[in-house]
Amino acid sequence: MKAKILILGIFCMIFLSTVQGAGVEIEDVYVEPSNAKPGEDITLVIETNVPNARLDVEIYDEGVKIYDDDVETESNGDISIPSGDFEDEWEDFMYVCGDHEIEVKIANHSDEDDDDETTEDIELFGDDSKKLKVTVNAADKLNTTAEIKIAVEDDDGDEIEEDDLVIIRNVDQEEDITLDTDRYGEVEFTIDDKFSGDDEVGKFDVIVRYEDHCEYKKSDAFEVMHSFGVEITSLPDNKFEVGKEIAINVKNEKGSRVTSADNMWVDGPGGYHKLLSLNSFGTTQFTPTSDGRYIVQITDDDFWSYDESIDIESLPPLKIELSKAKGEITVGDDLEITILDDSDDEVKDVEVTIKDPKGDPTKRDTDSDGKVSYTVEEIGIYTIDAKKEGYGDADETFEAYKKLSVSISPEHPDVGDTIIVKVTDEDGFPVAGITVLVNAQEDTTDSGGEISFVIDSKKKYIIEINEAGYSKINRMVEPEGVLTLRISPDVSDGVEVGDNISIEALVDGKTGVSVEITITKPDGGKDYITDSGHTFTPRSAGDYKIEVSKTGYKGTSRSFSVNLIPAEINASVKDNTVSVKVTGQGSGVEGFNVSAVLTTPTRGAEPEVYSSVTDSEGIATLTIDKNGNYTITGIKKNYNEVKTTVSVGKYDLLVLFIAGIIILILAIAYFLNERRSQIKEKPPKEKIGLGGL
């Protein structure tokens, strides 16, 4: 029995010696459950080789310590640490989806030299978790009173209304605030409402955490600094002029005085530089020593930099304006000189001194229109000085030349034309020996003052004369390109309404080049098309005009007529009803306006008009209540006007007349017949003679 105990003790000593010699080791690190959603509790499992041992454990996520405590290993050597035991720093990681760099350090509680550590990339919450949609609206160079708006939607695009949903973090000061979103998923705020003191300025992160969704984080989402509000004045009239003190008053965006700044200075013309300092009222001053532009600049660590320019004027300047451009003034010109102020208004009573090439001065004062006149009498350089009290002086120079004139023929050449350039003097006589440059190629005028050249291609030809002592000449000639207009079908004899008209434009014989096409219609309306061609269908009869133009090309045009559709009219009368039929192209025409008026109306009476419109068969019916001869007229757009005449009611009168005649004839015949019968029936008279007495 003692032997067995001895053997068992020796075995235990060997086992313990073996374990102690191996030291504590981390065999694996993982998370349970592996499919946890953002924000849910997890357990970090550390597998070690030492069961039932007390170890010092430190855990880091992305280099940030999230756990530090003594832990007892389980019988199998595992350590299970729920996230609920993690330190507060874990809140910055519990919604972060994807790989986490987890560093684990362990040490034997009884032997600090017996330790181990490992770093594992562990995927938490899955890359396929729901994503938040966050919009941050913030202006550039924000100050503490500027409004910031943040809108939050879930993975389905629905607005999220939640307390403490949005975290605003001052990165420099490590100061956080949380904000509630409204029912629209939005929050609006200003930094000075949520932060104070040094926490108001710096760069800010925007962080949003919401159940089952991965964390949204925008680092340096916006930067906030104080801003200078600067007022620059010059009393009493606020005019910035040399020698007048300029006052500068400085406040911040909240309207509070700024009594100090890291750097403040003003730079001006001629190397002017002055350092400025603010007093307890937030003001400072400087006095400009010359006219020109001055720039005030202020910088401070907690402020956006500021600079503003000020234009300082000594005296209102005068300007000299000549009636002819320099280089074009020639001997004999009557030059008009106008003196203007800086508002381009004429200034009267200005002393103007003009010195000719010999230095002889001529002095004159401007009139009420600010003008003086001067006749140029010789070639050379002239100087003009203008002076008036209360204004800055002005001066100007010009050179007078002998006058040259140039004529170019033809003025609008085509390619292949010969151009004649003729040079004449002020009296119109030709000038020989003048050097003329045509696109930098020299030529010399002959005894007739002419040179010539051929337009060999479509390009610009620059004609220059820069002869010493003469006025400078600079002219340009550019040949016009050729535009060709094609219209199909042939429109020489006109076309019909509804025909398709095809227009094609050729530019120097080439198709497919865009031009400006104008179609003028019979009613004067115009269609404008930019293309190489166009097809249209005339809807109205009348005269059309097609015009084609292009910059640098001679325009072309073509006119044609769209013919009226022929129509015919027939009418019949029954009683007082007139039936009218209008036909065109072999069938009845609907929509003809048909009217009837007396062919010879009663003098002084307003003619009565009977009207109707043809139906789908081209038939119209007119009921006329007065007898007589009528002119029937049919009118419709795009059709020729048609007319016919009818008589209404006259046939009835004739019948009555004839019937009356017949009755009268029968009556006479009857009377005559009765008379004859009466004569036959009367007995003859007895003859009475002398014998009967």
Q: How confident is the model over 420-435, as pLDDT tens digits?
A: 999 998 888 999 999 9
- Decide: helix, strand or coil at residue 231: strand
22-124 CATH: 2.60.40.10
> pLDDT at position 235, please?
79
pLDDT at 13: 44
Top mean-pLDDT range of 265-269, 404-408, 414-418, 596-600: 265-269
366-405, pLDDT tens digit by residue? 999 999 999 999 989 999 999 987 687 899 999 998 888 8
Taking only the tens place, the pLDDT of each residue in 468-480 is: 888 888 999 888 7
Q: What is the pLDDT of residue 82?
A: 96
- Which helix (DSSP H) or strand (DSSP E) does residue 651 occupy? helix 650-681
Q: How far apart are CA 329 and CA 545, in angstroms?
A: 47
- Based on its alpha-carbon atoms, the radius of gyration of the chain, rounded to whole angstroms, reads 56
Provide the 3-class DSSP secondary structure of residue 54: strand
Place 127 in a pLDDT band, splitting at 50, 70 and 90. low
Q: How far apart are CA 175 and CA 169, in angstroms?
A: 6
The mean pLDDT of 70-84, rounded to a whole number, is: 94
Domain 319-400, CATH class in plain words: mainly beta
Hey, what CATH topology would domain 228-312 get?
Answer: Immunoglobulin-like (2.60.40)
Q: For domain 133-224, give the fold.
A: Immunoglobulin-like (2.60.40)
> What pLDDT is stored for residue 688 in this prediction?
46
Q: Distance (Å, rounded) from C-alpha 462 to C-alpha 440?
A: 8
Lowest-confidence region among 203-217, 282-296, 653-667: 653-667
Q: Do domains 133-224 and 568-651 have the same CATH topology?
A: yes
Q: What's the N-to-C CA distance of the chain in angstroms?
A: 231
Nearest to 219 by CA among 96, 129, 101, 67: 96
Q: Please choose, from the candidates 484, 461, 612, 466, the residue with its C-alpha nearest in 3D space to the C-alpha of residue 558.
A: 484
Is the pTM value of this prediction over 0.95? no
Confidence (pLDDT) at 686: 52
Cis amide leading into 316 (omega within 30) = no
Contacts of 215 (CB under 8 A, 6+ apart): 38, 95, 96, 97, 132, 207, 208, 209
* Residue 467 pLDDT greater than 90, yes or no: no
CATH class, 481-563 region: mainly beta
Residue 585: the pLDDT is: 87
- Which of 226-240, 438-452, 495-509, 640-654 shows the lowest mean pLDDT across its residues? 640-654
- What is the C-alpha to C-alpha distance for residues 337 and 352, in angstroms, rounded to an integer? 9
Q: How confident is the model at residue 360 (pLDDT cuts 50, 70, 90)?
A: very high
Q: Is the dihedral of CA 529, 534, 536, 542 positive or negative?
A: positive
More confident residue, 604 or 431: 431
CA–CA separation, 1 vs 622, rounded Å?
147
The confidence score (pLDDT) of residue 673 equals: 79
CATH architecture of the domain with residue range 568-651: Sandwich (2.60)
Return the higher-pLDDT residue of 688 and 180.
Answer: 180
Mean per-residue pLDDT over the chain, rounded: 88
| pLDDT value at residue 251 | 96
Report pLDDT digits (tens) over 1-47: 454 554 455 444 444 444 444 589 999 999 999 889 998 999 999 99
Count how many Cα atoms sit within 13 Å of the Cα of residue 312 in the half-sphere of its side chain.
27
- Two tokens, residue 274: 């002055």
Separation of alpha carbons 108 and 134, rounded Å: 47
Closest CA to 415 of 371, 466, 477: 477
pLDDT at 12: 44
Nearest to 155 by CA among 126, 129, 136: 129
Residues 265-307 have pLDDT tens digits of 999 998 999 999 999 999 999 999 888 999 999 999 999 999 9
299 DSSP β-pair partners: 263
pLDDT reading at 357 higher than 50: yes
**Residue 633: its pLDDT value, please?**
95
Distance CA 271, CA 242 (A): 16
Band (pLDDT 50/70/90 cuts) for residue 327 is: confident
Q: From the options 3.30.70.360, 3.30.70.100, 2.40.110.10, 2.60.40.10, give the CATH code of 405-477.
A: 2.60.40.10
Give the model's pLDDT for residue 16: 43
What does the domain layout of the chain look like in residue ranges?
A: 22-124, 133-224, 228-312, 319-400, 405-477, 481-563, 568-651
Per-residue pLDDT tens digits for 167-202:
999 998 889 999 999 999 999 999 999 999 999 999
Q: How confident is the model at residue 650 (pLDDT cuts 50, 70, 90)?
A: low
Q: Look at residue 533 and give its three-state secondary structure.
A: strand
Per-residue pLDDT at 500 exceeds 90: yes
One-letter identity of residue 337: I
Query: What does 229-257 look like in DSSP terms, one character per residue?
Result: EEEEE-TTT---BTTS-EEEEEEETTS-B
Beta bridge partners of 390: none
